[in-house]
């Protein structure tokens, strides 16, 4: 497994990861633009635009695009988040040239007028549907609260109101600024001939014009606070709270990952034994998420409202107890699980593509599996103690609660 | 990728598939026993027993078992179906010896008295939950109807009544007969040292005693018929119907697979264009399932009850239209998709394990990816025409409908 890069004259950056002895490749584009890059009045435009990139170009209407992808036999998907938008195909290596041509064509969407309103309805239904699923939107709301007032605190989907108001021409303006070749990265991982890939990308993308498209923002400031919103559609109270953590490109991000697993992995973690195993909640998990210039360490609970106060007290005890020392056997288990997951997914093209996209979008150096295994291996109880001093998990959190409760009982 | 085998003195059969250049292995046991092997009064015992194998052995109680699997960092699962029960770990190759010892220990469950009633409640809740989800149980019910009166027509989960009545000692008797080493197969796929694996399996399983445990059944006879059952918990009518198809080990099974994709894959299939794309149903899919001595070709619909009659008429037209000829371009697309899926999952340990389990449990010769690609490539419109003469899809079907409707409108 080895990485290399290439840059076209128009600024389009190409990233290659060769995985020997397989017959497939995952290929696609990362657009360095997501909800944090949206003007307030266009909240949700990145995600809406992702949908429109499937709706037609100069060469293809949506039906032809769908049929051509089907001809490839590609497994495909696209996703939008706070800091980027990604599009990929997973194909047999001998179909790469056609795949690149189609993906490049999608990156030059004409945002067809006749499909715009139809797709807007699809997006609005998606927003309405997610509003009925607290577990799906709670992390988005948590980030809005934690980074309140900063562009990173903007919702990925946007609001019903903002999406309703977006016009086709406003989207076209955003597209022109944000999908310039110097703000896109082409990625391929798996088996391929690098020179042939460069030729295919040059042929498909070489004539695109570059534009100024930097993300010029201050780093976000963390804002603690608590918001309890009643949602009668669910029987459980969904509670998520976060404290500051390092950005993804910080060397302690792997420590944050393992601390989260130690505290709140699905099995045999601290919260598993003190909350789940005692039957006090359906879910009690901890996780770390790193952005390019910030990060969050967070806990998520799904709990019968009558138990919420008791469970929150236990979780607080667990958080403050971390400073008393880490059980080295349990940490080793968490490390082994992380290493196994990494090794088992190392040949999975989509997994590799997603990881490269995540690293590129957060300015994190690309790492081989061996490098990542060494990082995991290097995490120690002492390292976690240092982490807890730098990023105390007992800090005043940002908290969101969605469910039957009117107000906090904790 | 290459297969080899070995047999211990007590009849335990070992199957090896070496995949070079990866760092992991998927390993586990196939018990050649499932719902078709259950006496009527023990319906559901195979699935219940699968759960009990996680509950303790001579060496470990359930908590120790859970912790030891966690120590391995294994991804793991188990599943029971009509013709078998499978248990697996996916681990880093250097943990294989420990993994084999734990899996073998699970295969010698003591079926602890003190856990039996607790786990029975879990199973009964699972049965109740599935009864509220027509899409989850409709295929099980379809098979019960299609093979009515034959053991293959028995439900995998069993009924609330049958599971309630099973005693711990009845399960122990079933276990002794069906989990004898000569009725189990050990499987490992990925990277491993074959001699070391044989030593580990010999050490863990060499002392197990064999028993007579053949499956002595006539092949099932297909029974057409129609059953419409009102289920008010859902708004959509769920309809599944099946016609006879070849067993999994028949050379035309790959033709049945591709015909199903041509007719009813999720995108760009016949049913996609004539039903889904027209907004007439949420789902309209076709699939093929091969058992060891029989098979079914089936269609599944999820549809607004007011559209059910119209959609069924369209589906019947599509089925009878297949005899007028197959579009070779669309067949090529279906073949490319099948080949891509195969190639992309070729390095996935769990996928390989599941495929080997499926082949072994249906007496299908194990095939390399290259062999399977050649089989897919060999399917032609003429071959499908021959298939349709041997296994007409317009035959009188077995049909199950679950949803708001009192009776059929088709």
Contact between chains at A337 and B70 (C-beta distance less than 8 A): yes
B277: closest chain A residue by CA: A63
Contact between chains at B21 and A24 (C-beta distance less than 8 A): no
A67: closest chain B residue by CA: B268
B335: closest chain A residue by CA: A73
What's the number of CA atoms in the CB half-sphere (13 Å) around residue A66? Answer: 14
Q: Is the Cα dihedral B349, B122, B103, B363 positive or negative?
A: negative
Cα separation, A155 vs A44, whole angstroms = 7
Residues of A whose CB is below 8 A from B353: none
Q: pLDDT band at A212, cuts 50/70/90?
A: confident
Which residues in chain B show pLDDT less than 70?
1
Contact between chains at A340 and B21 (C-beta distance less than 8 A): no
- The answer, yes or no, to whether residue A320 has pLDDT greater than 90, is yes
Residues of A whose CB is below 8 A from B343: 23-24, 92
What tokens appear for B232 in the block? 């008010």
Residues of B whose CB is below 8 A from A68: none
Cα separation, A311 vs B283, whole angstroms = 41
Cα separation, B407 vs B1, whole angstroms = 52
Residues of B whose CB is below 8 A from A343: 23-24, 92
Q: How far is A351 from chain B (nearest CA, A)?
A: 12
- The answer, yes or no, to whether residue A374 has pLDDT greater than 90, is yes
Edge to edge, the sheet with strand B225-230 lists B225-230, B398-403, B237-244, B295-303, B283-290
Bridge partners of residue A26, in order along the sequence? A90, A189
Q: Which of B258, B340, B348 to mutate to test the interface with A (most CBs of A within 10 A)?
A: B340
Which residue numbers of B have CB closer than 8 Å to A's CBs? 20-24, 66-67, 70-75, 90-92, 95, 267-268, 333, 336-341, 343-344, 346-349, 369
Residues of A whose CB is below 8 A from B66: 267-268
Residue A58 CA, chain-centre distance (Å), reads 30
Cβ-nearest to B336 among A73, A340, A369: A73
Cα separation, A14 vs A21, whole angstroms = 22
Residues of B whose CB is below 8 A from A71: 333, 336
Contact between chains at B339 and A72 (C-beta distance less than 8 A): no
Q: Among 3.40.30.10, 3.90.1150.10, 3.10.180.10, 3.30.830.10, name the CATH number for the domain at B225-403.
A: 3.30.830.10
Q: How many CB pairs under 8 A join A and B?
A: 89
Contact between chains at A348 and B348 (C-beta distance less than 8 A): yes
Give the mean pLDDT of A255-281. 94
Contact between chains at B336 and A23 (C-beta distance less than 8 A): no
* A120-161 residue pLDDT tens: 999 998 888 887 788 888 999 999 999 999 999 999 999 999
* A62-84 residue pLDDT tens: 999 999 999 999 999 999 999 99
Q: Which of B75, B258, B262, B343 to mutate to test the interface with A (most CBs of A within 10 A)?
A: B343
Q: How far is A177 from chain B (nearest CA, A)?
A: 33
Nearest residue to B38 via CA among B147, B122, B155, B131? B155
Cα separation, A304 vs A285, whole angstroms = 16
Bridge partners of residue B87, in order along the sequence? B29, B78
Strands A13-18 and A184-190: parallel
Q: Which of A71, A91, A121, A340 to mutate to test the interface with B (most CBs of B within 10 A)?
A: A340
Same topology between domain B2-205 and domain B225-403: yes
Domain ranges of chain B: 2-205, 225-403
Which residue numbers of A have CB closer than 8 Å to B's CBs? 20-24, 66-67, 70-75, 90-92, 95, 267-268, 333, 336-341, 343-344, 346-349, 369
Strands B295-303 and B237-244: antiparallel
Give the mean pLDDT of A14-41. 94
Is A75 within 8 Å of A99 (Cβ atoms)? no
Give the mean pLDDT of A6-16. 97
Kindly list the distances between the CA atom of residue A399 and the CA atoms of A220, A241, A261, A281, B248, in Å, as whole numbers in the listed order: 17, 4, 20, 18, 54
- The answer, yes or no, to whether residue A190 has pLDDT greater than 70, is yes
A344: closest chain B residue by CA: B24
SS3 A88: strand
Residue A21, pLDDT score: 81
A369: closest chain B residue by CA: B23
Contact between chains at A73 and B339 (C-beta distance less than 8 A): yes
Residue A1, pLDDT score: 58
A190: closest chain B residue by CA: B344
Residues of A whose CB is below 8 A from B22: 346-347
* Whole-complex ipTM: 0.80
Arithmetic mean of pLDDT over chain A:
94
Contact between chains at B337 and A67 (C-beta distance less than 8 A): no
* B300-323 residue pLDDT tens: 999 999 999 999 999 999 999 999
A25's enclosing H/E stretch is strand A24-31
Contact between chains at B340 and A22 (C-beta distance less than 8 A): no
- The answer, yes or no, to whether residue A322 has pLDDT greater than 80, is yes
Nearest residue to B73 via CA among B8, B25, B1, B144? B25
SS3 A357: helix
**Beta strand spans in A106-249 (E):** 184-190, 225-230, 237-244
Contact between chains at A24 and B71 (C-beta distance less than 8 A): no
Cβ-nearest to A71 among B67, B73, B333: B333
Q: Which of A18, A19, A23, A90 to mutate to test the interface with B (most CBs of B within 10 A)?
A: A23
Residue A214, pLDDT score: 80
B90: closest chain A residue by CA: A344
A24: closest chain B residue by CA: B344
Residues of A whose CB is below 8 A from B368: none
Query: So what CATH class is B2-205?
Result: alpha beta
Residue B339, pLDDT score: 95
Cβ-nearest to A344 among B24, B267, B343: B24
Contact between chains at B340 and A73 (C-beta distance less than 8 A): yes
Question: In chain A, what percentage of residues exceed pLDDT 70?
Answer: 100
Contact between chains at A66 and B341 (C-beta distance less than 8 A): no
Q: Which residue in this structure is represented by tokens 């607790």?
A: B118
Residues of B whose CB is below 8 A from A122: none
Cα separation, B281 vs B262, whole angstroms = 18
Residue A148, pLDDT score: 94
Residue B1, pLDDT score: 58
DSSP string, B216-268: --PPPPP--EEEEEE-TT-SSEEEEEEEE---TTSTTHHHHHHHHHHHH-TTT
Q: How far is B71 from chain A (nearest CA, A)?
A: 5
């Amino acid at each position: 497994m080895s990485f290399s890069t290439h840059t076209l004259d128009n600024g389009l950056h190409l990233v290659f990861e060769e995985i020997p002895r397989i017959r497939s490749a995952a290929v696609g584009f990362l657009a360095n633009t997501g909800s944090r890059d949206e003007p307030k009045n266009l909240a949700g435009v990145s995600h809406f635009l992702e949908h429109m990139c499937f709706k037609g170009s100069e060469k293809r209407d949506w039906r032809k695009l769908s049929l051509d992808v089907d001809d490839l036999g590609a497994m495909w998907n696209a996703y939008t988040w706070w800091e980027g938008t990604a599009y990929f195909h997973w194909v047999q290596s001998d179909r790469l040239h056609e795949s690149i041509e189609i993906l490049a064509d999608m990156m030059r969407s004409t945002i067809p007028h006749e499909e715009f309103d139809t797709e807007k309805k699809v997006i609005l239904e998606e927003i309405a549907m997610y509003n009925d699923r607290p577990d799906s939107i709670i992390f988005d709301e948590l980030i809005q609260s934690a980074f309140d007032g900063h562009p990173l605190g903007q919702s990925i989907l946007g609001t019903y109101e903002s999406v309703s108001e977006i016009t086709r021409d406003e989207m076209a303006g955003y597209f022109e600024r944000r999908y310039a070749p110097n703000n896109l990265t082409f990625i391929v991982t798996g088996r391929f001939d690098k020179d042939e890939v460069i030729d295919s990308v040059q042929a498909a993308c070489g004539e695109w014009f570059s534009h100024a498209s930097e993300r010029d923002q201050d780093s976000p400031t963390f804002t603690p606070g608590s918001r309890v919103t009643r949602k009668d559609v669910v029987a459980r109270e969904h509670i998520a709270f976060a404290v500051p953590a390092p950005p993804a490109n910080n060397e302690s991000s792997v420590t944050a990952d393992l601390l989260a697993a130690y505290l709140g992995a699905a099995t045999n973690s601290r919260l598993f034994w003190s909350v789940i195993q005692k039957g006090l909640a359906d879910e009690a998990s901890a996780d770390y998420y790193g952005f390019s210039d910030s990060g969050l360490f967070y806990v998520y609970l799904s709990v019968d409202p009558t138990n919420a106060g008791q469970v929150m007290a236990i979780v607080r005890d667990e958080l403050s107890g971390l400073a008393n020392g880490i059980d080295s056997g349990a940490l080793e288990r968490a490390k082994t699980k992380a290493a196994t997951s990494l090794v088992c997914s190392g040949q999975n093209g989509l997994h590799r593509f997603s990881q490269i996209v995540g690293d590129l979008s957060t300015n994190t150096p690309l790492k081989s599996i061996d490098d990542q295994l060494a990082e995991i291996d290097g995490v120690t109880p002492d390292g976690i103690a240092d982490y807890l001093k730098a990023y105390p998990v007992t800090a005043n959190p940002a908290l969101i609660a969605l469910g039957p409760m009117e107000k906090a009982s904790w």
